Structure 1
Amino acid sequence: MAEYYAGKPDKISTAKPVSTAEKNAKELTVVALGDSLTRGTGDETGKGYVGDVIDEIKKKTKKPVRLLNLGINGQRSDQLRAQVGQIEVQRQIQKADIVLMTIGGNDLFRGGRAWQITAVTS
């Protein structure tokens, strides 16, 4: 399984495009977007839920899978929006057979707004 991990949402990905030959080989391309859950942080294997999904796809389809994991630790939804605005990221998403995404946890816990609302209503 080929893997690519991005480091920052404001940087353009340098992942190689999927060629027609690769598509014809019935390889499935998966693009994963999101935060640390997507990245696999906290999982002993480093694969996280994305790795589990990839394993299931391989098992059920009997096809090779190419993973482009663009998950970024600490990423918020506004940063994901900026990331998917990048031309290279858009191109990779368009070529993907499957797109996985997890986002939102950092919006709740980093800004403090969820805690402030709870404190006011309690």
Structure 2
Amino acid sequence: MSAASGGGSGGGPNALLLSINQTKCAELGKDYPARVTVSWPEKGDDKGKLVLLPQSLQELLEIGAKRFGFSPTKVLTKDGAEIDNIQVIRDGDHLKFASDGELEEYDLQDDGL
């Protein structure tokens, strides 16, 4: 599921590389935006919703506001690392929305406090 995977011959090693936030449809050979699962566990959503990855982190936060009815301020990996650049997100990632207060609460729980 790597964004840079490809196969075939000709064109050199970089001929089939895709943009970071795209995936290739094996059947049709077309490029599609990456898909990610977004959830907001603190607001009661643990399973999440599958969405197309937008072009910016701000757009991703807006998706969270529309989907969950709250305005998130942070995007975290499923392990709790804060994401500050849309380009580090890959196809298939599970992301969590949080507000500033939730991030601090998560850090305290992670430290065992």
TM-score range, shorter chain: under 0.3
TM-score by length of 1: 0.26
Greater fraction strand: 2
Q: Greater relative contact order: 1 or 2 (C-alpha under 8 angstroms, separation 6 or more)?
A: 1
Greater fraction helix: 1
